[in-house]
């Protein structure tokens, strides 16, 4: 009535990449594999593009562009971390498309990553997507293998 939008209770996260979805425990980084950052899944991108998994806001882009934070419309905070130890590249190989503070629609392109460059430099390209405020949500992870952006639901988040 006055332009206020009711917060969504349930948000379905689509795959942020085209490629393969893997269990978070398969990521060769103990912080992600042990879910210290939160529950989630990981991906191996086949084209280096990162898309928004949901409608929300791009709240953080790390200065090195290797990781982003999205706040979904239900308040869920989602961290997408492209590759492992890629912070050391200081942004080389990463092209930011969306701007911090920008409203996102599911499927909007956020980052474009040169995965060939990363792999030539010896970096793993496993890409965790975790829910950093998961204590506020019921988190249901779907088991999928090959994924495409904006199609399969990989995680369902319901506000507690």
- List all residues 6 or more positions away from 65 whose beta carbon is below 8 Å from its beta carbon: 91, 94, 95, 96, 111
Q: Which residues are catalytic?
A: 81
| Sign of the C-alpha dihedral computed for residues 62, 11, 144 and 109 taken in this order | negative
CA 130, CA 118: separation in Å to the nearest integer?
A: 22
Q: Is 45 exposed, middle or buried (0-12, 13-18, 19+ CB in 10 A)?
A: buried
């Amino acid at each position: 009535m006055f332009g206020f939008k009711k917060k969504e209770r349930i948000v379905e996260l689509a795959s942020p990449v085209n490629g393969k979805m893997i269990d978070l425990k398969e990521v060769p980084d103990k912080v992600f594999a042990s879910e210290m950052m939160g529950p989630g899944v990981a991906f191996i991108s086949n084209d280096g593009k990162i898309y928004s998994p949901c409608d929300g806001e791009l709240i953080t882009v790390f200065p090195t562009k290797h990781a982003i934070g999205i706040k979904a419309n239900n308040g869920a905070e989602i961290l997408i971390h492209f590759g492992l130890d890629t912070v050391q590249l200081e942004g080389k190989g990463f092209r930011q498309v969306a701007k911090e503070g920008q409203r996102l629609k599911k499927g909007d392109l956020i980052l474009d990553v040169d995965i060939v460059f990363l792999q030539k430099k010896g970096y793993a390209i496993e890409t965790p997507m975790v829910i950093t405020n998961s204590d506020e949500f019921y988190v249901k992870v779907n088991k999928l293998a090959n994924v495409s952006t904006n199609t399969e639901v990989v995680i369902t988040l319901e506000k507690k």
